[in-house]
Amino acid sequence: MQFLSISLLVLMLAAVITSVVLWVMAIYGAFTRIDLKENKWLWIAMLLFFGPIGMIAYFFVENKKRLGVISLVVALVFILGIPAFAIISFAFGSLAESQSQSLPIVQDGFELNSTDLELAPSK
């Protein structure tokens, strides 16, 4: 259960790092291109203000389809990964919580009541 949550978290972290690297590459590419005379500032503004959407559009329009596909996959990892992480955390978190509440703790003739955290005599 934790392995799935941790592996999804690592995947999301890799997507964040990849997205930032591709975003910096797109901004640098738009800034250093000489043939984008009039559209240069438009592309830079689009990349800065629209983030992943601008990055995907830049790579596809500028015939760098391989980087565009990578950007699209990274965006899909974000779109699908965040809800999946929330669902897994909620499902397994509530499962672990319900299992921990069903087992009473008895020590030295006293039962630990988990709801109010008081020691009550065991029956």
* Percentage of the chain lying above the pLDDT 70 cut: 71
How far, rounded to the nearest angstrom, does the alpha carbon of residue 76 sit from its chain's CA centroid? 10
pLDDT, tens only, 20-69: 888 888 888 888 888 877 788 888 888 888 888 888 888 888 778 788 88
Mean pLDDT of 110-123: 54
Evaluate if pTM is beyond 0.85.
Answer: no
CB within 8 Å of 23: residues ≥ 6 apart: 47, 51, 52, 55
